[in-house]
Amino acid sequence: MNQFNIKTTYDLVYVIINQGLGSKVLQKAKEKGIHGGTIFYGLGTVRHPLLNLLALYDEHKEIILMGGESDIVDQVINHLNHSFKFHKPNHGILFRINSCRMLGSRFNDCNERENIKEVKRMYHIITTIVDKGKGEEVVNASKDAGARGGTIINARGSGVNETTRIFNMEIEPEKEIVIIVAQADQSQNIIDNIKSELKIDEPGQGILFVQEAAEVHGLFHQGK
């Protein structure tokens, strides 16, 4: 059988948690079948300490990215929730994104999800890549449009003369990646304000892309 005909679906799992816990998250995930992951370092920001969305308070955070077959990811999410208590405020955030055409493990295609039960997606993941020093501007623009906070990641190449790439855009040492989790009905206003303030739609000013979160844990809303 051609391996490309295998109907296996894969998901990506992001975990944002306090610095020092990333390795423990990976260890727990491996107990349920995840083979590995990547840990990034970032800085969390929120508008006001009483607003718990993202559970970030200008603290250093670790962002863990993992991928696996959907049935394994189900078990991993339950195991991580039990171990790290994401249902409680200030314990971090976990979200899941459906992936298409994952390479490097096995191949799968978006069409394979045709018969999968549709999940109501209430949150969008807004990722913006800008020059170093502009990450805070992205966060401020998103806050002005209703977001509660975000996570800024310093993106660095592996050497002085090397760069990494995201969607064919070179990510050099002077870049910052901003991740914002927003309610779906707020995301367009946030995107529009980031575009307006940062001129993202002009050449060389950065890149912004949006993903739907299939499952989110650890988000809390409190009155202003």
Per-residue pLDDT of the chain (224 residues; tens, 9 = 90+): 444 444 457 788 999 998 899 999 999 999 999 988 888 888 776 544 433 444 444 568 888 988 888 899 999 999 999 999 998 888 899 999 887 544 444 434 455 444 444 445 689 999 998 888 899 999 999 999 998 888 888 864 333 444 555 555 555 556 888 999 998 999 999 999 999 999 998 888 888 988 888 888 887 654 44
Segments of the chain assigned to CATH 3.30.70.120:
3-113, 123-217
Separate counts of helices (H) and strands (E) for the chain? 4, 11
**21 to each of 7, 36, 118, 165, how far by Cα in Å?**
34, 15, 33, 27
Model-wide pTM > 0.85 = no
What b/e string do you get for 122-139 counting C-beta neighbours within 10 Å, with b at 16 or more?
A: ebbbbbbbbeeebbebbb
Question: From CA 76, how far away is CA 25, in angstroms rounded?
Answer: 10
- Return the sign of the alpha-carbon dihedral for residues 211, 214, 217, 219: positive
**So what's the architecture of 3-113 in CATH?**
2-Layer Sandwich (3.30)
**160 to each of 103, 104, 121, 169, 195, how far by Cα in Å?**
28, 26, 40, 17, 30
| Range 123-217 has CATH code 3.40.140.10 | no
* Six token digits for residue 142: 């998103």
